[in-house]
Amino acid sequence: MKKKSLLLMLAMLLILSAFLAACSSDNAEPAETDNETETEDGTAGEAQSGGTLTYGFETAPEGLFNPAFYGIATDAEVLALFDEALITYDENLQPEPGIASWETEDNKVFTFTFEQGVMWHDGVELTVNDWVFALETIASPDYDGQRYSNVQTIEGAEAFRNGEADSISGLNVIDDYTIEITFDQARVNNLVNVWSYPMSRAQFEGIPVAEMSASEQVRTKPVGLGPFKVTNVIPGEAVEMVKFEDYWRGEPKLDGINIRVLDSSTIVGALGQGDIDMVTLAPVNAPEVEELDNVEVITAPGLTYYYIGFKLGTFNNETKEITEDKEKYADLNLRKAMAHAIDRQAWVDAFFFGYGKPIDGPVPSNHWIAADSADLETYDYDPERAKELLEEAGYVDVDGDGFVEDPNGEPFVAKFSHYATGNPTFETRAQAIVQYWQEVGINAELEMTEVNLYYEMIEKDDPAMETFFGGWGTGADPDPTALWGSDQLWNYPRFKNEESDKLLADALNVDVVGTDEELRKDLYVQWQQLVASEVPMIFIAELDEIWGLSDRVENVTFDVSGYNNPYEWSLAQ
């Protein structure tokens, strides 16, 4: 989700790389790798131990290797290997006890109990004080990361941040392994929302909060709790890790993991040569990789989706209110017609090589709150239905130019905006959407806008933005309020619906749902039905996560929450 814009020059490179990748897959010789380290340990149990896995990255990490400070997904991928949250998530994205287990009676006061004997990589034992330290760091006014929303729900965090208190009053340390946290109010999602990565108090001792993000404890000598520890960071190109023998769940099977940064043009070739064992693939590369003998392509359900939004109103930044004052797409039948006009399956197959599928609502289908498509109003590819709907709405071709006019007889031009980066496929895939609309008689126009400007225009409700392409992701916490509430800046279509607001609020309200997950899901399903029937967006596709794994990698599995714990990974010798 974080492709940033490259320059036009790179567009050429991308085309070339696709060509190159094609060449290299033909000539790919079966791996004649010289493994960096081959170790003595023989066979032990079902999985062999030893060996160093090489993990390829397509973008360089920024080097902010601390959960409290990182900004981009690439850094998070590095972090996942050497650090660990207190709470983990199962394959249904439900929280399960990890280092910490919890108890609560009212969803307001939680008691967390830590495992004893969990060690930081520097040999210091983890205590709840490290968690308090992390929470206070994030709540500090000097903190320059973006995690405060995960702390502000704790009672007293606001006062601490404003300098009115010396500590966060909601944190009550009972002993080294037990802490009681009081939130400012009972919420269903207090647990999944709260910041759950401790920070080593010993390591950061004496470093002011404002200087932490630049300190070597974050950048080159990070210390975590996870199965591997960082031994060397070569900025912009590699991170070396070795196994952490005292890892609390058990000794990792691999000797180490090396992360190497590669240009996207070399990924396929490097996989074919066996230089890298594991990599996330862009859909465009995956078909080439499938043809390699020594690499397996694995897809896992993703949590991101693409949509086409309709601008229905404007957002007032002062009052934080949405007014649905844009008339052009106010007609529900028009929106439905435009949805029926698009052949989403063909589109996904053409531009994502089949690594994805059409989606019918605002929640990826593998999330536990996702409504079954059968319960939603769906808009399958049906040009005839689209034409009927247009006619019902009063959009008919008056002047005989092949395109419909609006109900007042004025020419109707639907403007479709898509962001432009160096990626040459964006324009073609956007053009395809425009053509679908033209085929049912809507005169559509495409406008490609540079990606940074694009989102600024959407946020400011620029009149030039009428229908727009976008993508969103969902996390473990399913609450979609930030993207759909009628007082939210990121509600890009400016969809305002009291029923929707009420459903979203109810789903978080302890008095309504209590701790009943089924009840909560029910409310979200109702909400999805509402959104699907109102069509503020045409939901296009959800994408798979695609991984390339070399055949020597074993015991790596994927589900919707990501891969399994890396301490289980191993390499065939």
Partner 1 sequence: MLKYTIRRLIGMIPMLLLISFVVFLLAKAMPGDSLSGEIDPLNTNPQYIEEMREKLGYNDPLPVQYFNWVSGFLQGDFGKSTRYKVPVSTLLAERLPNTIFLGVTSLVITYILAFAMGIFAGRRPYTIGDNIIGGLNYLGLAIPSFIAGVFAIYFFSFNLGWIPYAGSVEVGLERGTFEYYVSRVHHVLMPAIVLGLLGTASYTQFLRNDIIENSRKDFVRTARAKGTPTSKIYNVHIMRNSIIPLITFLGFDIATLISGAIITETIFTYPGIGQLFLESVGNRDYPTLMVITMMLSTLTLVGNLVADILYGVVDPRIRLD
Looking only at residues 255 through 284 of this chain, which bind partner 1 when binding is defined by CB under 8 A? Answer: 258, 260-263, 265-266, 269-270, 272-273
Q: Report how far residue 436's alpha carbon sits from residue 446's, in angstroms, rounded to the nearest whole number.
A: 12
Among 401, 473, 516, 533, binds partner 1 (CB under 8 A): 473
With the C-alpha atoms ordered 3, 9, 15, 17, is the resulting torsion angle positive or negative? negative
| 237 binding partner 1? (CB under 8 A) | yes
Task: Find all residues with CB under 8 Å of 272, minimum gap 6, and list them.
Answer: 24, 25, 28, 29, 292, 294, 295
**Segment interacting with partner 1 (CB under 8 A) among 23-31, 327-335, 360-368, 380-388:** 23-31
| 550 binding partner 1? (CB under 8 A) | no
Bridge partners of 230, per DSSP, are: 241
First to last CA, the chain: 35
Asked if 468 and 434 count as a contact pair (C-beta separation under 8 A), the reply is: no
Site string for partner 1, 406-435 (x = CB under 8 A): -------------x----------------
| 464 binding partner 1? (CB under 8 A) | no
Asked if 226 and 566 count as a contact pair (C-beta separation under 8 A), the reply is: yes
Q: By C-alpha distance, which of 244, 203, 205 is closest to 221?
A: 203
Site string for partner 1, 183-222 (x = CB under 8 A): ------------------------------xx----x---
Q: Report how far residue 383's alpha carbon sits from residue 380's, in angstroms, rounded to the nearest whole number.
A: 9
| 38 binding partner 1? (CB under 8 A) | no
Longest dimension (CA), the chain: 81
Judged by CB under 8 A, the number of residues near partner 1 is 71
Site string for partner 1, 352-391 (x = CB under 8 A): ----------------------------------------
What's the DSSP call for residue 148?
G
Residue holding tokens 């609020």?
505
Q: Report how far residue 239's alpha carbon sits from residue 516's, in angstroms, rounded to the nearest whole number.
A: 43
| 572 binding partner 1? (CB under 8 A) | no
| 8 binding partner 1? (CB under 8 A) | no
Strands 238-243 and 256-261: antiparallel
The nearest distance, CB 423 to partner 1, in angstroms, is 12
The nearest distance, CB 557 to partner 1, in angstroms, is 23
- The 10 Å Cβ neighbour count of residue 305 is 24
**Segment interacting with partner 1 (CB under 8 A) among 38-46, 78-86, 381-389, 475-483:** 475-483
What's the DSSP call for residue 554?
E
Among 146, 162, 428, 533, binds partner 1 (CB under 8 A): 146
**Segment interacting with partner 1 (CB under 8 A) among 67-75, 108-116, 382-390, 508-516:** 67-75
Nearer to partner 1, 43 or 232 (CB): 232
| 453 binding partner 1? (CB under 8 A) | yes
Site string for partner 1, 148-177 (x = CB under 8 A): xx----------------------------
Q: Which of residues 320-359 bind partner 1 (CB under 8 A)?
A: none
The nearest distance, CB 37 to partner 1, in angstroms, is 8
The nearest distance, CB 364 to partner 1, in angstroms, is 13
| 452 binding partner 1? (CB under 8 A) | yes
Nearer to partner 1, 1 or 346 (CB): 1
Q: Report how far residue 425's alpha carbon sits from residue 422's, in angstroms, rounded to the nearest whole number.
A: 9
What's the DSSP call for residue 204?
T
The nearest distance, CB 266 to partner 1, in angstroms, is 5
Phi-psi label, residue 394: left if phi above 0, alpha if psi -120 to 50, beta otherwise: left
Q: By C-alpha distance, which of 324, 336, 344, 330 is closest to 391?
A: 336
Rounded to a whole number of angstroms, the CA Rg of the chain reads 26
| 293 binding partner 1? (CB under 8 A) | no
Q: Tokens representing 123?
A: 């040999």
| 500 binding partner 1? (CB under 8 A) | no
